[in-house]
Amino acid sequence: MTHQKSEAKESPESSRGWRTLRENLILIAIALCLALLIRTFVAEPRYIPSDSMLPTLHRGDRLVVEKISSFFHPPQFGDIVVFQPPEELQHRGYPKDQAFIKRIIGTPGKKVSIAGGKVYIDGQPIQEDYIAEPPILPMQERQVPPGEFFVMGDNRNDSNDSRYWGFLPKENIIGRAVFRF
């Protein structure tokens, strides 16, 4: 008696199906890796959790934060930046991963002061057509140290900013807000 081995042969359709599935899984893996790389190093979405940037940004607004430009030039006066809280804020109970958003007012070496409802940089008042209202409380002149920034919310009288917790180290900056959606 002869025994025949039964061999299971894959049909061409079955082989094509596995190939398509494998290709799709590879495409999904590549897409996930690219999304992770882009979010980590290029840009990421954020939302506005408070009214500190009124009238420029409203609670619940979403924006794109780009992370590339800081490699080519430091943040500039007027840039709106997203950042991790500096140590002083962490000592006050804010978690390290909570993001803040403020406008850069003072860059390294500049002297910032507030008097008579106006913000002064190196003794000159700055034009601020983006604020909700002029700041009520005065502030004595402070010089921004190297590698740090003085930041304020556009809602000057309802903003937890550099007036209260000090300067923002450059390394805490996550990126610059580029557009709202």
102 is catalytic: yes
Which helix (H) or strand (E) segment is 177 a member of?
Answer: strand 173-180
The residues near 137 (Cβ < 8 Å, ≥ 6 apart) are 114, 157, 163
The residues near 171 (Cβ < 8 Å, ≥ 6 apart) are 147
Provide the residue count of the chain: 181
Cβ atoms within 10 Å, residue 80: 22
The amino acid at residue 92 is R
Catalytic residue among 11, 50, 52, 70: 52
Catalytic residue among 67, 96, 102, 110: 102
| Burial (CB count within 10 angstroms: exposed 0-12, middle 13-18, buried 19+), residue 72 | exposed
Distance CA 147, CA 160 (A): 21
Residue positions annotated with a catalytic role: 52, 102
